Amino acid sequence: MAKPIIGILYDFDKTLCTTDMQEYDFIKNLGMESNDFWGEAGALTKKYEVDKILAYMFVMIKKCKEKGIPLTEEYLRSCGENVVLYKGVLSWFDRINEYGESLGVTIEHYIISSGTYEIIQGTPIAKYFKRVYACRYMYDENGEAIWPALAINYTMKTQYIYRISKGVHDVTNDYDLNREQDESLRHINYRNMIYIGDGMTDIPCMKMIKERGGKSIALYATGKAETVKPLVDDDRINYVCVADYSENSALDKIVKLMIENMALIERLSSKEKQQLSQYRRNTDKE
């Protein structure tokens, strides 16, 4: 019998790493300040009423052309090598996977981000994720980015919760995504999902998972607890803690308690089905 699966879903920027992923190498290599880069993207949004995510993706292409930097998949991956991860992140995934294994459940990790897929793939933690859902590019015959292949804004993030729950990981497969599916057949039940994010852009996902029986956690950088106050005030989350993934940190203890509780519920559910099935077989014989 397959082990129950618990899914941990993460935002990326300011959730696993300390700032927006483009700010470590990509913007620096353009010779720009972060405020100038994001300001140009914001101006496009305002002028043309273009989606904020499409605007920043366009500015990435435009600025690389101006600077003579080939915007290839390989280049973007290289911009992920110096991403600064929060304390404890590098050891987090093996540690949590082992804990789940000890309780008889499988842990799967997913990214749902409005950041750049290729940059995430260049980080040392990319190998730990079952799927990375993030903005990505189409490339021409020379391997240079020419157009967004996928753009994920903040409200669109919820689509990927449905995909993860149903196990419909192919982003082109809308038929199975929208088809009715019995809860018992889902890849991951909503009650077995944990969403970890850092701010207002995560609200749709946090709210959805919390309302469907899963758990949502808001993280903040040390000394910046006020950044998640709106999430607490509006009752969007279950827990809030500092962004420290180290063993025995508050986050580590909270997530392990969640996994323990979810594993116990799965055991009880299995026992319930077995008991009722046994009862029916016994009574049918009478």
The string of pLDDT tens digits covering residues 169-207 is: 999 999 999 888 887 789 999 999 999 999 888 999 999
pLDDT computed for residue 1 by the predictor = 60
The residue type found at 159 is: Q
pLDDT at 96: 98
- Let me know how long the chain is: 286
Give the per-residue pLDDT at 281.
75
| Residues 218, 206 contacting (CB under 8 angstroms) | yes
Rounded CA gap, 6 and 2, in Å?
A: 12
CA angle, residues 16, 17, 21, in degrees to nearest 5: 125
Residue 267: its pLDDT value, please?
A: 87
Query: What's the rounded mean pLDDT across residues 105-134?
Result: 98
Query: What mean pLDDT comes out for the span 68-79?
Result: 98
Tell me, what's the pLDDT at 11? Answer: 97
pLDDT in tens, 11-66: 999 999 999 999 999 999 999 999 999 999 999 999 999 999 999 999 999 999 99
pLDDT of residue 285: 66
Structure confidence at residue 115 as a pLDDT band (50, 70, 90): very high
Find the range with the poorest average confidence among 13-17, 161-165, 231-235: 231-235
**Structure confidence by residue, pLDDT tens digits, 139-156:** 999 999 999 999 999 889
Note the helical H segments in 116-243: 117-121, 157-166, 174-178, 203-211, 229-233
Average pLDDT, the chain: 94
pLDDT tens for each residue of 236-274: 899 999 999 999 999 999 999 999 999 999 888 877 777
* Residue 110, φ and ψ in degrees, nearest 5: -135, 145
Task: Tell me if residue 278 falls in helix, strand or coil.
Answer: helix
* pTM, entire model: 0.94
